[in-house]
Amino acid sequence: MAKVASGGGNADSGSPVNEFGDIIRWRSDEHDDVQKKTFTKWINARFAKGGKPPIKDLFADLRDGRKLLDLLEGLAGQVLTKERGATRVHALNNINRALHVLQQNNVELVNIGGTDIVDGNHKLTLGLIWSIILHWQVKDIMKAIMSDLQQTNSEKILLSWVRQSTRPYKQVNVLNFTTSWADGLAFNAILHRHKPGLFSWDKVTKMSAVGRLEHAFNMARKHLGTEKLLDPEDIAVSLPDKKSIIMYVTSLFEVLPQQVTMEDIREVETLPRQYKVECSDSLLSRQQNVTSEKETQSLRAETPSTVTEMEVDLDSYQAVLEEVLTWLLSAEDTLQMQDDISSDVEEVKEQFHIHEGFMMELTAHQSNVGNVLQAGNQLIAQGNLTEEEEIEIREQMTLLNSRWESLRVASMDRQAKLHEVLMELQQQQLQQLSDWLTLTEERIQKLEVQSAVDELESFKQQIDEHKQLQSDLESEQVKVNSLTHMVVVVDENSGESATAALEDQLQSLGERWAAVCRWTEERWRLLQDIFMRWQQLSEDQLLIEAWLTEKENALADVQTSSFKDKSEIGVNVCKLAILKENLEMKRPTLDHLSELGQDLTELLNNSNSSKKIDSDMEELTQRWDNLVQQLEDYSKQVSRAVPELRITATEHAVQKQELAPPPPPKKRQLHMDMESKKKFDVDASELLNWIGKSKCEIQAMVFNDFRRKKDISSMKKKMKALEKEKAENETQLKEVKQMGQALLEPMEKEGLPTEEVKHALENMSVEWKDNSQQMDKLRSKMQYQEDINSIYQELQELEKTVKSKEDWLKSAASVPVKSSQYEINQLTDLAPRVEKLMARGEVLSSEPGAPSFLQEDLNSYNNRFRSVLQKLQSKQQVQAVLGA
């Protein structure tokens, strides 16, 4: 007999170790595929009953949690709200809500978190759906019989029922929920036992395995209404998927007689299971640390089912033993090759998920270990071994059990350590974020109370400080994003309180983070607004100061002239007229500058800045007033001295040729550009002010709820006035745009900045378009409400007629046939109007956001109309009979 190696080693590429690992992975993937198909069919069968659309891909369609909540709504019988967004956060909220519902319904879940489902983890998604099926499909269906028999193992009861149902059929011996079903006989036997008239048993025995399975599934669907959850090609294999078979057999159990006695259960309990005495202490007693309690019970129920009544062959035992030990060697190497636990939180998360997969693989293979131990015990029990062979088999079983136990313990130790390190690192992340937020909140408080500035350059420093704060926020965002993908493992030791505390901590940090981001964004907008206004004010002040200096110098030149030379006096009088005209044209610029200064002081909201701005504006105003006064005084002086040469501004155009030649073209062009720019600024500002005022008026009129009767006459008047103003300002918009476009080229040639003009042009276009859209939207709502008003106006008139007929029916005990016919004719004449009104209402009700009351009221009236007409016609028939 070949000896079993007692030590481990690395497997070379292409060795039996790798080959066997590939086979195991292939078999696991195969079962996953079958479960995916079966579970999808089960879910879609539930959705079909509730009128909900089916799912196509189990793993992809459950990731956002919405379909999962739809499923639980039908199973739990309660309405579950869903997040409307499509981000990962919304998906996690949906999944967590679903997990909470499962917890409320006492559905046991182990090591399944929201992130697993959102990330599309195949095994954990299948595990979640199986837990749901086990609770609502298996245990829910069997809870009555479990209670009557005082049994807690649903699988044992189901196997007892199957064996009792198939006992008369000598070809069928069901020992488990895997291999015993592959030939299709068991399914057909159950159906034939309870419905013998459906088909011939002899005919079924002559079919192929796939044919029998197809026959059973079709008969169950046709005659029992049982959904075809399984595909024959998935069952007619060497090792069918156990969960899928249990689920389907439970569906048959639900619709067929359910006679199960304690004798049937005891028969199942006495099936061969000699391995239990020797290996239960080490292999099975601590399995709850690797798998959930449900899975452990499942393992205990399944393991004996692999024992057949045939004798175990020594060579086949040796083959499966070596196969399992080969896998153990590979698993030990895999565990040994896992990297040391990192100190980086993201790397530890990855290590944690990798090890989770490894633990799942251990869970998937633990029954193989039990099967080998079972086979060894059965081999010994048969009594065909020599003493030496028996001793060797016992040593082999001890070795196998020891290696398995060591691997299991080491795996659990690593899982616990990974969890401990991960939670510690994540807690450090949370604390670091909390500390950072505390410092940032203190920093914000200092920024809010920092000393007021009275110079633009000092204000720029505040902007730079705020930019640094924004940069720091962007850097911290990376850490915040990491926290949104936290790994949380809830075990019996932590419980709900620990989870709730962590959720509260995350929520608190999230609210603080959101507050910091919101304050930073709002303050940035304010700083930008102030900076643009202040910069504009400073530039405009410099321009108007230069303009005043120029005019003051021009007036001084006129004042130094003598009154002896009449031609010179005439030229000076023209200059005074031009100066007066220039002052009148420039006055709006000064007023606009004053308004800009007032707006800026309100935004700055500090005394130092206000004093500085007010002082600068007061100085400009004083210079302006002095210039005006000097011009007026000197004009009067000239008029008194030479009355015959008095001249007005309008006469200046006639004598323009007598003036001194204009300044060089370049300077004149620059002067004219700046004048045009000032006019553009004023006109653009006026236009934007009107748009803002229009938006406010529109917003004040906006309504979200439609009513049966709503007076919108005042709104229509306001809208008409706004539309008239809009038409007038549309011409102004075109002119201002043309003016702005005309400014750009000469300004670029002169080297002047054009960003402000471009921004103004773009801003006007955007604001105008937005205002137009808001007006159109409000106009559409008003028209819709007007249509509703019109319908209810006509409905009110029609109701009067119906009401009069109802009153007539109440008061008319005995009237001539003519009178009834008259009433009928009146209602019949109204029928076209009613149909037309219903059609109008149907059109309005089809609009997005249509009120529900509209169609309801129309349907109610239409039913009432038809009912009254029918009563009148019935009354006429009675009167006709009586009259006959």
Outline where 605-712 has alpha helix (H): 607-641, 665-701
Encode 599-633: b = buried (16+ Cβ within 10 Å), e = exposed. Answer: ebbeebeeeebbebbeebbeebeebbeebeebbee
Amino acid at 327: W
pLDDT for 15-43, tens place per residue?
333 333 333 344 445 677 888 989 999 99
Task: Encode pLDDT of 721-778 as tens digits.
Answer: 999 999 989 988 999 999 888 888 887 777 777 888 888 898 889 889 988 998 998 9
Which has the closest alpha carbon to 652: 561, 557, 578? 578
Task: At 417, list the tokens.
Answer: 């350590």
Gap between the Cα atoms of 210 and 234, Å rounded = 9
Cβ pair 861, 798 in contact under 8 A: yes
DSSP at 226: -
Mean pLDDT of 205-224: 93
CA angle, residues 137, 142, 146, in degrees to nearest 5:
145
Q: Can you tell me whether residue 166 is helix, strand or coil?
A: helix
pLDDT of residue 650: 37
What's the pLDDT at 232? Answer: 93
Q: Check the CA dihedral 418-419-421-425 and report its sign.
A: positive
Q: How far is Cα 25 from Cα 449, in angstroms, rounded to an integer?
A: 65
Largest CA distance in the chain: 152
701 has a pLDDT exceeding 70: yes
**pLDDT score, position 75:** 86
Q: For 241, phi and psi rounded to 5 degrees? A: -75, 125
Contact of 480 with 638, CB cutoff 8 Å: no
Torsion sign across C-alpha atoms 337, 342, 346, 349? positive
pLDDT of residue 663: 41
Q: What is the pTM of this model?
A: 0.35
Half-sphere exposure of 30 (CA within 13 A, CB side): 16
User: What confidence score (pLDDT) does residue 772 get?
Assistant: 92
CA distance 153 to 456: 81
The Cα 5–Cα 325 span in angstroms is: 9
pLDDT tens, 531-579? 888 878 888 888 888 888 888 888 887 776 655 555 566 667 777 777 7
DSSP strand E in 477-589: where? none
What's the confidence (pLDDT) of residue 665?
38
Separation CA 779–CA 713 (nearest Å): 13
Percent of the chain that is helix, strand, coil (3-state, to 5):
80, 0, 20
- Residue 592: strand, helix, or coil: helix
